[in-house]
Chains A and B, each alone.
Chain A
Amino acid sequence: EPEVTQTPSHQVTQMGQEVILRCVPISNHLYFYWYRQILGQKVEFLVSFYNNEISEKSEIFDDQFSVERPDGSNFTLKIRSTKLEDSAMYFCASTSQGQGLTPLHFGNGTRLTVT
C-alpha cells in the first residue's frame, strides 16, 4: 500500500537555525497537510496545501513557517528561525480529495528537537 514518507525521522537543531522537514506524499494525492504534536499534547493542524498554494493555515503557522512543493513529489515545511517551543513531532499527511471525503494518510513523523 502506498505510504507517506518523511525525512529525517529525527532532527536536532540549535535555536535560531533554519530547518527543512521533507515529505513525499502518496503520488496521486492532491491535498497536503502539516500537523505537529508537542510531547504530551494533541495533534495540531498547521497548514493545508492544494493546487500549489496554501488553502488554510492555523494561528501557529506564523511568518517563521513556510511550505513548498518544489517538484512533483516533495512537500516541505521550513522553519526559518527555530525556537525552543518548536520542538515537537511534525506529521505530513495527504489525501486524494478534500472536504473530508477520503481520510488523511499520515507519515511516521519527524521529531524536531531544538536546543
Chain B
Amino acid sequence: AQSVTQLGSHVSVSEGALVLLRCNYSSSVPPYLFWYVQYPNQGLQLLLKYTSAATLVKGINGFEAEFKKSETSFHLTKPSAHMSDAAEYFCAVSDNNQGGKLIFGQGTELSVKP
C-alpha cells in the first residue's frame, strides 16, 4: 500500500529564509507525487507534480521539489519565504494504476515570521 509521511506538523521560518518541507513516500510502483497548498478556508491548490520526467520539479510561487528515489523523498523547498506563503502544505502520492486516487500526508503548517 502506498503512504506518505510528512516530517513536522508545523514549520516556522523568518521572512526571506529558506523553506524546507519534508515528504517521504512508500510505493511499490513508480509513484506520481504532488504538493498541494491549502490557504485558510480554501480548497487544495496544486503547487507542483512529479510524473517521472525531470527529478527537479518547479512549481508555482517559486516552490520546487526534488524526487530522490534512493531516499524515497520529495521535499519541497523555496529559497526565500514570503509572508503570503503561510499555509498548510500537503504531500500526496498517486498510484498510477488506481484511477488517480491521491493518498495525502498529514500536512505541514508553515508559519512565516516578519
Contact = CB atoms under 8 A, between A and B. Distances in A.
B44 A100 contact: no
A91 B100 contact: no
Given A42-B106, A100-B32, A91 B96 contact: no
B34 to A, nearest CB: 6
B70 interface: no
B43 A107 contact: yes
B51 A100 contact: yes
A7 to B, nearest CB: 13
A45 interface: yes
Contacts of B42: 108-109
A41 B90 CA distance: 11
A5 to B, nearest CB: 10
Interface string A10-33: 000000000000000000000101
A103 B34 contact: yes
Nearest to A111: B41
A42 B99 contact: no
A43 B43 contact: no
A40 to B, nearest CB: 9
Given A43-B90, A91-B43, A91-B44, A104 B100 contact: yes
B46 A48 contact: no
B101 A106 contact: no
A33 B92 CA distance: 15
A98 B104 contact: no
A43 B96 contact: no
A108 B51 contact: no
Interface in A14-70: 31, 33, 35, 41-45, 48, 50, 55-56
**9 closest residue pairs by CB, A with B:** A100-B94, A100-B32, A98-B99, A106-B44, A108-B43, A106-B43, A43-B104, A100-B96, A98-B100
Given A42-B106, A99-B96, A105-B46, 12 more contacts: A42-B107, A43-B90, A44-B104, A48-B100, A48-B101, A91-B44, A99-B100, A100-B98, A101-B32, A104-B100, A104-B102, A106-B44
Interface of A: 4, 6, 31, 33, 35, 41-45, 48, 50, 55-56, 91, 93, 95, 97-109
